[in-house]
């Protein structure tokens, strides 16, 4: 029965055509390699370094700020310098920390492109780069937050930060109630990526 089965066509891979900027990136990279400005190994290492940055790094810093008042004061005053102690180099940008309080809730967006504190938190989520989020986060932030399941009281001011130039922002969320006895290591687990963008707030630890 060897010749009885269907000779179905394979579904082609969904290979996207390269956008113009993709072609330009390859051309420039190959030129830089040829000229010996950097090696393929250095390029690979840099990419690997980008991927090493992740929201967990930010969570560690937030949890320490919750438990160490001096650290928090230094972080608010000069975020870039403080994260260097954690091996994070903000490169040509500066880290700027904005603090949530009972009266103010902060949200980060970049309406011009998709600026994001990549050296600290890694690559931004796809929605952060979407035109939808970038338009609406400044236009109707409370409606956007509600879609993320984040509902703010009416007496809380929403402060949107449009990341247009040299600062890269993270939100220092409020430490949730019921966490008084927790160590910095335990608190880290409560701080998700979205809490540091401001589209979410950390929940209290699950009971039980």
As annotated, the active-site residues are 110, 113-115
Does 154 participate in binding other proteins (rule CB under 8 A)?
Answer: yes
Considering beta carbons, is residue 85 or 166 the nearer one to other proteins?
A: 166
Helical residues (DSSP H) of the chain, grouped into ranges: 20-34, 40-52, 55-67, 69-77, 79-84, 118-121, 126-129, 131-139, 141-147, 184-188, 193-197
Return the residue of 112, 130, 147, 203 that touches other proteins, per CB under 8 A: 112
d(CA 95, CA 76): 9
Return the residue of 29, 162, 179, 205 that touches other proteins, per CB under 8 A: 162
d(CA 134, CA 129): 7
Nearest distance from C-beta of residue 138 to other proteins, angstroms: 6
Return the residue of 111, 114, 150, 179 that touches other proteins, per CB under 8 A: 111
DSSP 149: T
Of the candidate spans 1-9, 15-23, 161-169, 174-182, the one that interacts with other proteins by CB under 8 A turns out to be 161-169
**Residue 194: partners with Cβ closer than 8 Å, 6 or more residues away:** 125, 148, 200
Does 143 participate in binding other proteins (rule CB under 8 A)?
Answer: yes
Nearest distance from C-beta of residue 15 to other proteins, angstroms: 32
Q: Are strands 167-172 and 94-99 parallel, antiparallel or unpaired?
A: parallel
Considering beta carbons, is residue 27 or 104 the nearer one to other proteins?
A: 104
Return the residue of 71, 159, 184, 205 that touches other proteins, per CB under 8 A: 159
DSSP 106: E
State the residues that interact with other proteins by CB under 8 A.
94, 111-112, 138-143, 154, 157-167
């Amino acid at each position: 029965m060897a010749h009885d089965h269907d000779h179905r066509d394979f579904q082609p891979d969904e290979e996207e055509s390269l956008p113009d900027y993709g072609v330009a990136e390859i051309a420039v990279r190959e030129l830089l390699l040829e000229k010996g400005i950097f090696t393929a190994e250095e390029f690979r290492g840099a990419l690997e370094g980008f991927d090493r940055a992740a929201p967990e790094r930010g969570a560690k810093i937030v949890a320490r700020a919750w438990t160490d008042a001096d650290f928090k004061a230094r972080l608010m005053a000069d975020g870039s310098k403080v994260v260097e102690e954690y091996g994070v180099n903000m490169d040509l940008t500066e880290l700027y920390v904005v603090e949530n309080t009972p009266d103010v809730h902060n949200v980060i967006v970049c309406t011009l492109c998709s600026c994001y504190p990549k050296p600290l938190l890694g690559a931004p989520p796809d929605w952060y780069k979407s035109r939808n989020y970038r338009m609406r986060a400044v236009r109707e932030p409370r409606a956007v937050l509600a879609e993320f399941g984040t509902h703010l009281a009416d007496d809380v001011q929403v402060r949107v930060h449009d990341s247009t130039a040299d600062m890269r922002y993270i939100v220092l969320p409020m430490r949730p109630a019921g966490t008084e006895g927790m160590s910095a290591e335990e608190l880290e687990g409560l701080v998700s990526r979205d809490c540091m963008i401001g589209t979410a707030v950390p929940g209290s630890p699950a009971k039980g």
